[in-house]
Amino acid sequence: IMLTASVSNGTAFHPSTFILLGIPGMQDQHIWISIPFCSMYIFALAGNGTILFIIMTDKALHEPMYLFLCLLSVTDLVLCSTTLPKMLAIFWLDAHTISFHGCLTQMFFVHAVFATESAILLAMAFDRYIAICHPLYYTSILNATVIGKIGAACVARGLLFVFLFIILIKRLPFCGRHILAHTYCEHMGIAKLACTSIKPNTIYGLTVALSVTGMDVVLIAASYVLILHAVLCLPSQDAQLRAFSTCGAHVCVILVFYIPAFFSFFTHRFGRHVPPHAHIILANLYLLVPPVLNPLVYGINTKQIRTRILGLGLWRRQQYPS
C-alpha cells in the first residue's frame, strides 16, 4: 500500500538523479585509469577529425568508399563523445550525479549510435564486396544518391529500434533505487534498478542485439567470405597478399567492435559470475577502441588518404618552420 501511494504521487516512480559509481572496486585507481582513457579519446578526436577534414576538403575523395568512411568517422566521434566526457568528470572531479533525463539521453545515444555504426560497417563491407567482386557495376550501383539513402537508412534504423528503450525504461518504477555501478547509462544497467519485472526490457534488448546487430555480423562475415574467395582467384600473389593484409585489418577492427559489445550485452543477462570491473572496462572499450583504430585501419591504411596526410604535414612545416 505504501509503495502504491508513493508511486502514485510520483516520489518513487522515477528518481530525479542517478549516481554513476564509475568502476566498482577500483574507485581508488580512477585517476590512473583515466590516463589511457583520456589518451585514447584524444587520439580518436584527432584521427577522426583529420579523416573528416581531408575527405570534405578534397573533391577527388568524394567517392563511395570515402563517403562511407566519412560517415564512420562522424559516428565514431559521437560514440566516444557520448560517454567519455562524463566518464572523465567522474574520474577527475567526482561528478557522479546525472539527471534522470540526462541518463536516458545518454543511454539513447549510446545504443542508437552503436546500432548506426554497425549498419555503416555493413554498408562498408558491401561497398568492398561490390568493388572487388563486381567492379564493372561499382559506379552504377553505388552513386551519390544511393549512398545518401544508405546513410539515412543507417541512422533511421538506429533511432527507430532504440527509441523503444526510452519507453520501456519510463514505464518502470525505481522505488528510490538510483545508484548505477557503471561509468555511463545503458539500457539494462538502468532497468536492473527497477523494483518490478523487467522481462519486456530483457526480451526486447536480446531481440535487438540478435536480430539487428547479430544480422549485421552475419552479413558482414558473408561479405568478407565472398571477398576472400574473389581474392584467392587473383593471378598475382602480391595482389593477394595486399588484399589479405587489408581485409585482415578490417576484420580485426570489426571483431574489436563487436566482441566486447556482445560480451557486455550478454553479461547483463547471464554473466552473474563475471567481475563487475571486468564487465565495465570491456563495456567502455567497445565505445572507445574502435574510434581510435578506425582512422588508422580504414583511413591511414588507404593510400590516397595517407598521401594527403603526408602532404598536409609537409605544408604545415613549410608554413611554420622550426
Which CB contacts under 8 angstroms, 24+ apart, belong to 187-196?
187/107, 187/111, 188/265, 188/268, 188/269, 189/268, 190/18, 190/103, 190/104, 190/107, 192/268, 195/3, 196/172
Indicate if the alpha-carbon torsion angle 37, 99, 77, 162 is positive or negative. positive
Q: Cell 578506425 appears where?
A: 294
Residue 258 sits in which domain range? 17-310
Q: Is residue 149 part of a domain?
A: yes
Residues 229-262 as b or e (16 or more Cβ within 10 Å = b): eebeeeeeeeeeeebeebbeebbebbebbbebbb
Supply the pLDDT for residue 217.
92
Q: Cα(236)–Cα(20) distance, rounded to whole angstroms? A: 55
Q: Tell me what pLDDT residue 268 has.
A: 72
Mean pLDDT along residues 26-50: 91
pLDDT tens across 79-101, in order? 999 999 999 999 999 899 999 99
Whether 318 is covered by a domain: the verdict is no
In a domain, 150, yes or no: yes
Q: 208 lies in a domain?
A: yes
- Return the amino acid letter for 312: L
241-249 average pLDDT score: 72
Q: What is the mean pLDDT of the chain?
A: 84
For 19, the 3-state DSSP assignment is: strand
Nearest in space to 71 (alpha carbons), one of 79, 59, 60: 79
pLDDT in tens, 149-196: 999 999 999 999 999 999 999 999 988 888 998 999 999 989 999 988
314 versus 278: the higher-pLDDT residue is: 278
> Does residue 211 sit within a domain?
yes
DSSP letter, residue 99: E
Percentages of the chain per state (helix, strand, coil), in multiples of 5: 80, 5, 20
Which one-letter amino acid corresponds to residue 218? V
pLDDT in tens, 5-14: 334 444 457 8
Q: What does the pLDDT read at residue 11?
A: 47
Q: What is the pLDDT of residues 115-138, one digit of tens each?
A: 999 999 999 889 888 888 888 888
Residue 321 is assigned to a structural domain of this protein: no
Stretch (H or E) spanning 80? helix 64-93
- Helices vs. strands in the chain: H and E counts, helices first: 12, 3
Question: Concatenated DSSP letters for 163-229?
Answer: HHHHHHHHT---TT--EESSSS--HHHHHTT-SS--HHHHHHHHHHIIIIIHHHHHHHHHHHHHHHH
- Cell 566518464 maps to which residue? 87
Picking from 235-244, 260-269, 308-317, which range would have the lowest pLDDT averaged per residue?
Answer: 308-317
Lowest mean pLDDT across 82-91, 105-114, 128-137, 297-306: 297-306
User: What CATH number has the domain bearing residue 102?
Assistant: 1.20.1070.10
Q: Assign 286 a pLDDT band (cuts: 50, 70, 90).
A: confident
Number of domains the chain contains = 1
Tell me whether residue 50 is in a domain.
yes
Which three cell numbers mark 256? 574489436
Q: What is the pLDDT of residue 313?
A: 56
Residue 57 lies in a domain: yes
pLDDT digits (tens, 9 = 90+) for 189-244: 899 999 888 999 999 988 888 888 889 999 999 998 888 888 777 777 776 777 77
